[in-house]
Structures are given as C-alpha cells and as structure tokens.
Structure 1
Amino acid sequence: MMKVFADRLFDVVVKHKRDIAANWAKDVRKNTKTPSYHDYTQDQCISFAVDFYENFTNLYFEPKPYAGQEEYFTKYAERRFQEGTPLHEALHALIMMRRHLWLFADMQVVFTSPLDSYQAIEAITKTMRIFDFAIYLISGKYEELLKAKK
C-alpha cells in the first residue's frame, strides 16, 4: 500500500524534476542563508537539483539504501567542499531541496484521501530518515576534508 503512494509521489517528482529544481534554484540563489549559491547561474543550480532529485528517487526505493546513500551524499559533500560552499550552506540547500520536493507534491494534490494522508506521513518519515543520514554523512565528510586540508 505504502509503495503505491510512494510510486505516485515519485512519479510526480520524476515527471516534474526540472520544475521542482527550477523553483529550488530560484530560492537558493536569493536566500540569505545560502549566499554561496548566489554566484551560480540558474542553470547550474537546476543541474545540481535535478541530479539530487534523480538520485533521491533511486535511493528512496533501494531495499538496502545505506550504501547508495553513503556513496551519493559523500560525493555531494566532496563537490560542495571543493566548490568552497560552507557546510551550513550546503546543508541548508539540501533542506531546501527537501522542502521543495514536498511543496511541489502538495501542490500536485498527490494527497487526496485520508489513506493518502497516512501514507504521506509514512513517506515523509522515510524521507526524513534519508535526509538525517545525509546530514550525518555530509558533515562527517566535510570534517574529514577539512582535516586533510590542514
């Protein structure tokens, strides 16, 4: 049952990833908490977010997602670190991606019944676990890269 809802949710994400990414790019480029992203072009930011949404969808449905999450979010941390993005901004940009994912799904009326609402809570909970683990991995990788730089 949960899989049916998640399939619908991520079907919307896959079909509209560029729209979601464009909304995120617009916001991240003007947000006062993400000044490092202000210098990127809209297209660069869209590319960052499309990559994220494609990978997030795959990670969501992995039966044993931790290895894939570790690989993807470690690379995310390395890229942002090499670009000079401060850790707190890289994490806030990620949080904004999560927010845009759910805002878009909500606008698409993916949640239409009480059962959908229950399943949405389940999907949100799983999404939060992935993002929590991402924050753990990204902050650990940043710390490792900072130590290596000294």
Structure 2
Amino acid sequence: MQAYAAKLIDLIESKSENIARQWADDVMKHNRTPSYHSLSKEMVIEQGTDFYRLFRRMSLAKNPFEEAKSFSWKYAEELYRKKIPLQEAIYALILMRRNLWLYAEFQGVFVSVLEKTQAVESLNRTILLFDYVSYQVIEKYQELIVGSVERRIGAVKTLMMKGGMVAKRNIYKIALMIVFLFIASILTYYNHADLKSEGLFTHLFYIPIILASIWWGKKGVYVPIFLGALILVSHLIFLSSVSIWGEVIRAGMFIFIGGVIGWLMEGIKKVEEIF
C-alpha cells in the first residue's frame, strides 16, 4: 500500500508545476470563481505549485491536520487580502483536487487491477487532506473577518469618543466666546454711552477675534463681523455727532484680520492631515 501511495506522491511532486498550470487555466476561467479572473496567472500558478509540492510532507506527517496549516493559513490570508470571497476560495480548492485527478498522466500511474484497488486508499487520503485544508481555510477566513469587524468597531468607538470630546471642547469654546462677546458689548456701551468716547477699548476685541479664527478657521469670521457691527451700531446710537469713519476702519480691520487668520489656520490643518 505504501509503495503505491509513494508512487502517487512522486507523481504529484514531480509534476506539481504542470498540474498547477492546468489548475490555473481552469480556475481563472471558471464561472464560479470570477474573482480569480483578474488575478496574476503567475501568482495563481505559484499558489497551486506550493500546495502540490507540500503534498508529500502533508501526506506522510503524523498529524497532517497541523501540517496542512502551513499552506491553508497562508492561502486564506493571501486570498482574503485580495478580497476573494470565501465560496470562491473553497471552490478553487475543489478545482485543485479535480485537476489533480484529471491530470493526463494520473490514470497511467496505476496499471493493474490490484494497483487500482489499492489506489483507492491513496485517493481517500488525498480527499481527507483536501478536507483538512478546506476546513482550515474556512476557519482562517472566519478569524480574519471577525478581526476585521472588531477593528472597525474599535475604530468607530474611537471616532465616537473623539467626536464626544471634540463636541465637549466646542461647548466650552462657545461658552467662553459668549462671555467674551458679552464683555465686549458692556465695554462698547460703557465707552460710547457713558464716556462718549471711542477710546482704545476696541483693541481688546482682537482677543476673541484671534481665538475664534484659531478654533473655527474661516467660520470664525462671524465673530469679527458681530464685533464690527456692534461698534458701528453703538456709534450710530450714542455718538451720532462724531464721525463714524474711524469705527468703519476698525470694523474692516476686525474682519480682515479674522479672515486672514482663519484662512491660515485651515491651511495648517490641511497640512497636518496630510502628514
């Protein structure tokens, strides 16, 4: 019995590349393995050759199931990376076994009735080895899929946590900006209504303007627009007898400086995202 098994193994090992080429031609055209059609033929042939050359070691190992993992796990990982569906990966193995049996020289190995009878045991062992590989490929695919799902869930959780932290920081920023604008309104009223003076207090307005531009980029321009409108309206109400052109220039500077800083900050953020 062992002599005939060795005879079969010798054939597979010596003709491994030829059988692999025959299998590659089949699997790359078969309608049940469409994902293989676009793969490199050299890669597919190498995949088949690797398995057929490992056949002796798998067949003679004390624990062929464990020995088969050296091929099946690599096979599964490679096809998973190339986004080959599991059903096609398994059917490719079926074609691999079929092409082994249908190889032109295969039937010539066993010439007598006795040899053909004893060959059945070798064929049964061959089927068992392919079953081992099929099982391990499915197992590995499941492991890879679960790992991928867990990584994606982890990424989503991380994004949600980051999103929550960002939202919380934004609330603090908005609250602080409201305080700044409230103080700016009080200062404007006090200087225009009580002191009847334009004064230098508007220089303090650059603090919220710069912060808004840093925090929110171009969107932060609404803060200088508000402050510019504030001093203009207040001037018209409380300082109508004084020329407004000084306030117009200040309001324009608010918007210009806020816009420039906001534009620069968005450019910096884009560079940070790239690198």
User: What TM-score, normalized by structure 2, do the two folds share?
Assistant: 0.51
Counterpart in 2 of 1:40?
39
Look up the SS of the partner of 1:38 in the other structure: helix
Q: Show the 5 A alignment for 1:47-126.
A: 47-104=46-103, 107=106, 109-126=108-125
Deviation for aligned residue 1:117: 1.2
Count of equivalent residues: 149
Deviation for aligned residue 1:107: 4.3
* Residue 43 (structure 2) pairs with residue 21 (structure 1): no
| In 2, Cα distance between equivalents of 1:108 and 1:127 | 15
Residues 25 and 45 in structure 1, CA contact (< 8 A), matched pair in contact too = yes
Residues 12 and 105 in structure 1, CA contact (< 8 A), matched pair in contact too = no
Residues 13 and 55 in structure 2, CA contact (< 8 A), matched pair in contact too = no
Counterpart in 1 of 2:143?
144
**Range moving further from structure 2, 83-92 or 66-75:** 66-75
Structure 2 counterpart of 1:61, one-letter code: L
Asked which structure has the greater CA Rg, the reply is: 2
Q: CA RMSD in A?
A: 1.5
| In 2, Cα distance between equivalents of 1:115 and 1:105 | 21
Counterpart in 1 of 2:256?
none
Residues 5 and 116 in structure 1, CA contact (< 8 A), matched pair in contact too = yes
Larger relative contact order (CA 8 Å, sep ≥ 6) = 1
Look up the SS of the partner of 1:32 in the other structure: coil
Which blocks of at least 5 consecutive residues in structure 2 are unaligned?
A: 150-275
| In 2, Cα distance between equivalents of 1:107 and 1:7 | 13
Query: CA separation of 1:15/1:54 partners in 2, compared to 1, >3 Å: closer, same or farther?
Result: same
Residues 12 and 55 in structure 2, CA contact (< 8 A), matched pair in contact too = no
Residues 111 and 120 in structure 1, CA contact (< 8 A), matched pair in contact too = yes
**Range moving further from structure 2, 22-31 or 34-43:** 34-43
Moved segments of 4+, more than 4 Å: 105-108
| In 2, Cα distance between equivalents of 1:105 and 1:61 | 24
Deviation for aligned residue 1:105: 6.3
Deviation for aligned residue 1:106: 5.4
Residues 9 and 105 in structure 1, CA contact (< 8 A), matched pair in contact too = no
Give the fraction of aligned pairs with identical amino acids, expressed as a percent. Answer: 38
User: What TM-score, normalized by structure 1, do the two folds share?
Assistant: 0.91
Which blocks of at least 5 consecutive residues in structure 1 are unaligned?
A: none
Residues 75 and 137 in structure 2, CA contact (< 8 A), matched pair in contact too = yes
Look up the SS of the partner of 2:103 in the other structure: helix
| In 2, Cα distance between equivalents of 1:64 and 1:105 | 30
Deviation for aligned residue 1:57: 2.6
